[in-house]
Chain A
Amino acid sequence: MVVARGDLQQLLDALTAQGYQVLGPRVRDGAIQYDELSSLADLPIGWTDRQDGGFYRLEKRDDEALFGYVVGPSSWKRFLHPPTVTLWRSRRTEEGFELVESPQDPPKYAFFGVRPCELHAISIQDRVFLQGPYVDPIYRSRRAGIFVVAVNCGQAGGTCFCTSMGTGPRARKGFDLALTELLGPERHEFVVEVGSPAGAEILAQVAHRPATPEDRARVAEIEAETSRQMGRQMETAGLKELLYTNLEHPRWEEVASRCLTCANCTMVCPTCFCTTVEDVTDLTGQEAERRRLWDSCFTMEFSYMHGGSVRSSARSRYRQWMTHKLATWQDQFDVIGCVGCGRCITWCPVGIDITQEVAAIRGEPVT
């Protein structure tokens, strides 16, 4: 189906009318970040992003594209797996203590503008939180009701490598509706693909026309053009074995000399899921609560056991992160933990590049 630019607001209205809180990309503080959308006018219309290792800038486009950029620092993880959550509260009693219910009542979210790499990231977190022996009830309750409007990428960013990871630039599944923006001197339309009955129901409330063979051909062309623009690439063949057989490679020491162990890569990664818990009390010791916070394998305390940290060096922490993401993740979850979104490259304050680290360990020349 095809929806005209002028009718797309109806999609947002239909979602709002069904009680969804619509979240999508907006310009905030000089970057594209996910936030509440009340109308299409909130989107970063006519903006694009220039990205490189440790570098991100917004720039004006010479058109009025709604989705003419890629991903910013925040991912949908923020909403499905929030940075801080109270797990439970308790109160002291005569006999011991009692738990105080803290009901989790997440809003009904519609994610508007989810990129194909991000859909894959969500499906990876689904495996981690929902499909293992221990289900995370917080993730489950937030994930259950979401409506996903995916957007296929019409251009790739400087640190993108989704084609290497097989996660984009076009969404194949995991959405209710998927949009491809068709933009030309004479036209501004969206090809809409329906991915679920809920998607069909919403689309029925939006003015649309059937897609022509030319429209479909244009969608395929856009996918091919975007694929050719990837700013980065990573060879994934034999990746697991490569890393398992190179645990003592001198490159780990080299990257450790640059790594700040600041944890930014893990915070922006849409699949990194580690958390820590801390217990807090009131001054009188009558009430206590346990909080869960995003944590990172780059902190010293992350691997603290009696007597000290197991991974006290930056070398061991970087190696842990990268081998987990690309190799042990496969043993653990049957999938590579990286979706090629490029966030860890862009948001590393010193531009450490996971694709270059892989290339270096392969023995390929790196810049």
Chain B
Amino acid sequence: MSGLIEFFADPGNWSGSTGIPVRIGYHLLYSLIALGLALVIAVPLGIYVGHTGRGEAVVAGMANALRALPTLGLLIVVVMLAAPLFSSSLVFTAPAILVLVLLAIPSILTGTYTGIQTADRSAVDAATGLGYTPMQVLTRVQLPCALPLMISGVRGAMLQIVSTATVAAYVSLNGLGRYIIDGRANNDFGQMAAGAALVAVVALVLELAFLLAGRLTISPGLRRSERRVKVPASAAPAT
């Protein structure tokens, strides 16, 4: 514990390219890039699956298989295979981010399509009968109703990304995980604990940010039913 306090008390750890602000910055930057890419892929796909019911079994199977696949092994395999394909500055970053995206997709996908599927069927029928176009039904009824499950899916994805980005320091990704890896290499337990504490704080802050975002964007009309709609197991938070 004393090593931990020492680490935070040292002004040298608060500046420069290995300082805490820079590392937090990188950690968040890579996480957000990965989340953004995952959203771009998973949300439209989830809308398609939820709307048509096609490919549901494939998606559920993929989500489960990815849960069993050890992330550390996956990271190392992808880096070893893909590193030769990238120019020097991206040699570790790009493959690591690829894995982050891959791991984030199932959670967002599942949240989106189950959200759309569990949107009140009679409300959808009523909207159609009243003359909403299929696009209007989607944007004005289904998506707002799917929002609680979607946000919960994105939250799970974000935590998975932040967690995996920490591990990815092992394959040289910049970020808070570096303190844990470098500390371990130098038997500097204070640095390790400091890195772990920072990662935990970042994860908790992001969790709170998502809770807040949910409060602001989910209609109060849907909030009561949040607890009754069981989040499917495959959308369970990842670690």
**B is a partner of A:** no
